[in-house]
Amino acid sequence: MILSEPKPWEEIEGYLEGDDSVFLLGCDGCDAATGDGGAERVGELSGKLDEGGWNVTGTKVIEFLCNKALAGMKLARISDLIEESDSLLVSCCGIGVQAVSKLVDKQVHPANDTVSMGDFHGTWPSEETCKRCGECLLEYTGGICPLTMCVKGLLNGACGGSYEGKCEVEPDRPCGWELIYERLKDVGRLDLIEEYNPPKARQKYQFGVPMENRNSLYWAIEAEEGE
Amino acid sequence: MSTLKDKLEAGEFAITCEAGPPKGVDLENELKEAEEIAGLIDAFNVTDLQSSAMRMSSVAMCRLLEERGLETVYQMTCRDRNRLALQSSLLGAWALGMENVLALTGDYTTLGDHPDAMPVFDLDSIQLLETIERLNGGEDLVGNELKGSPQFFPGAAANPGADPLKPQILKSRMKADHGARFFQTQAVYDSDVFAKFMEELRDAGVETPVMVGILPLKSAGMARFMDANIAGVVIPDEVIKELTDASDTVQKSLEICSRVINETADLCEGVHLMPMGWEEYVPDILDGTDL
């Protein structure tokens, strides 16, 4: 179980500046359980996109986007719709957004912030990992997480230890920022690499989600069980 | 008053030299060596636990050099301190007389002699530059007003041998945009590589002064090791051959340094020497140049 919270609409709107057509993808796994990714949220986002003048090329809700092999096969069936879109808006956790980024040759916008449940891990063993930092940056990093793919968790580009695409720490480890650079180049969004990412709000995942933000059904069940 | 700042801003050629604090409290050698070459150098870069090896703090050695009238560049990495400690150290360093700061990410902990240490990296080098800019502007990272603010002259590292080069150029531009007012580069042995870097940097609109990094190769073996293992250090085969064939390796190594300085001096604004224990040869390296 992974817990996400919707990003503010204004933030998502900012991501979509410059895109005319958007394919909307939701997840029927954990995010559906919390109401942040399933059909209901996708419907709501679709309405907002329509209102804002975007052409929604299609919507799809896939069960557990983090199951990359299955998600890939399902997306392949609608590849023409995706192909004619400028970008994808994905309402899922950070793992799902990263998985979709890897499957699709388009800019992938995250619709959620994945939040910490106090070091509880997700269910899907996958190379895409999410630190549940509560302020998802995947929009700016080509759908590759700098917190987990860069050993130093750097937010503004590679360090001096990056060479020929490898990390200074282990000879075979890829440099996360090199992957991000290549990905942004491939999707024609190299402009994003010079976007300044400010220091992280560490408290968002140091102790889990602050009580006042625990407004989802998941937390309600937890609280119930605790009593 | 920062001579380094004055010189670089006036378009004069500047020379810095690295000085590493000891592992221990005996600084006699380090201070003596620095004093001996002080007349040739505008400022000493004091390293911050270089290569993640535990040593005396940079700020302490900076202060001891400043007390002797030697200007310093306080090197600061993001590896060992969070944003509270970084800002606090910066305020302390200013109070102790340091004006020049080099903002670095820092090598990873596992590369050093305490591989089990907690890597911090709360900030990255660009966020650290931004932090210095905020402090210079009279407030901390969250906007609280400072009682008396520093006026640091912040610099950053750049790597001319980076492969691929484009991301390095973009990152350097970001560093300049976030407050870097000079660059000191990774060691350079191939002036063509450096020339290409400078051309791309200037084409990207970055006019920040650049000091070319010079690090003497103590042997052909060291050259081969660095070429193979140190990120972004490119040593041409001819240079390795020169060292292999030389009857006097020291002499040849110093010659190579002087030659690279001569070949690159017109392309940049200064030299950054990293003698790594060869402080005594710094005068010979500089004597061998047209500077």
Q: What is the pLDDT of residues A178-214, one digit of tens each?
A: 999 999 999 999 999 999 999 998 887 766 666 666 6
> Are A169 and B111 a contacting pair at CB < 8 A?
yes
The answer on pLDDT for A121 being more than 60 is: no
Chain B contact for A192 (CB, 8 A cutoff): no
The confidence score (pLDDT) of residue B254 equals 97
Tell me which of A148, A154, A204 to substitute to probe the interface with B (most B C-beta atoms closer than 10 Å).
A154
Cα–Cα dist A97/B2, whole Å: 49
- Per the prediction, chain A carries an average pLDDT of 88
Sequence-distant (6+) residues with CB within 8 A of B157 are: A160, B102, B104, B125, B183, B184, B185, B186
Rounded to the nearest 5 percent, the helix, strand and coil shares of chain B are 45, 15, 40
Per-residue model confidence as pLDDT tens digits over A2-27 = 788 899 999 999 999 999 999 999 99
What is the arithmetic mean of pLDDT over A86-99? 94
> Are B107 and A199 a contacting pair at CB < 8 A?
no
SS3 B219: coil
Task: Give the helix/strand (H/E) hosting A26.
Answer: strand A21-27
| Domains along chain A with CATH numbers | 3-208 (3.40.50)
Sequence-distant (6+) residues with CB within 8 A of B15 are: B40, B41, B42, B270, B271, B272, B273, B286, B291
Annotate B182-214 with b (16+ C-beta within 10 A) or e (fewer).
Answer: bbbbbbbbbbebbbebbebbeeeebebbbbbbb
**Pick from A156, A169, A196: which is nearest to B108 by CB?**
A169
DSSP B261-289: HHHHGGGSSEEEE--TT-GGGHHHHHHTS
The confidence score (pLDDT) of residue A187 equals 93
**Pick from B105, B111, B164: which is nearest to A160 by CB?**
B105
Beta strands B270-273 and B14-19 are: parallel
What is the arithmetic mean of pLDDT over B65-73? 98
SS3 B166: helix
165-224 in chain B: CB under 8 A from chain A: 166-168, 170-171, 173-174, 177-178, 186
| Domains along chain B with CATH numbers | 3-218+261-285 (3.20.20.220)
Percent of chain B predicted with pLDDT > 70 = 100
What is the arithmetic mean of pLDDT over B71-96? 98
Tell me which of A131, A141, A159 to substitute to probe the interface with B (most B C-beta atoms closer than 10 Å).
A159
Nearest to A206 by CA among A78, A128, A135, A119: A119
Q: What is the ipTM of this complex?
A: 0.88
Tell me which of A162, A173, A202 to substitute to probe the interface with B (most B C-beta atoms closer than 10 Å).
A162
Terminal-to-terminal C-alpha distance of chain A: 21
Find the range with the poorest average confidence among B169-183, B216-230, B260-274: B216-230
> Are A199 and B186 a contacting pair at CB < 8 A?
no
- CA distances, A89 to each of A23, A48, A105, A112 (Å): 6, 12, 13, 10
pLDDT band at A34 (very low <50, low <70, confident <90, very high): confident
Characterise A157 by phi-psi region: left (phi > 0), alpha (psi -120 to 50), beta (else).
left
